Amino acid sequence: MRVLYFAWLRERIGLPEEEVETGAATVSDLVAELRAREERYALAFSDLRALRVAIDQELTDFDAALDGAKEVAFFPPMTGG
């Protein structure tokens, strides 16, 4: 699965995207796996209220199932316009 990070999340984790081997059922499960990896992930994902998630380029929430997902993106609230 391709996992992408944007804005300050990308900076804190230190990379824009990576391939992740996971059997996580939901976004929250995937976050738990990422947090357990290294301190920088734990810090970056410490407050999920400050983050948004998209599965295959559609906004969703942290309870969403990852069933068949090819791409999961994490980012702070958007600031367009």
Confirm or reject binding of residue 81 to another protein (CB under 8 A).
yes
Q: Which of 1, 4, 20, 64 is close enough to bind another protein by CB under 8 A?
A: 4
Q: Which of 2, 7, 38, 43 is close enough to bind another protein by CB under 8 A?
A: 7
Q: Which two tokens stand for residue 59?
A: 């906004």
DSSP lists the bridge partners of residue 54 as 59, 73
Q: How far is the CB of 57 from another protein (least distance, A)?
A: 4
Q: Which of 25, 32, 42, 78 is close enough to bind another protein by CB under 8 A?
A: 78
Helix intervals (H) in 1-81: 7-13, 27-37, 39-44
Q: Could you tell me which residues come within 8 angstroms of residue 63 by beta carbon, excluding any fewer than 6 positions away?
A: 26, 27, 28
Which residues contact another protein by CB under 8 A? 4, 6-8, 10, 54, 57-59, 73, 75-81
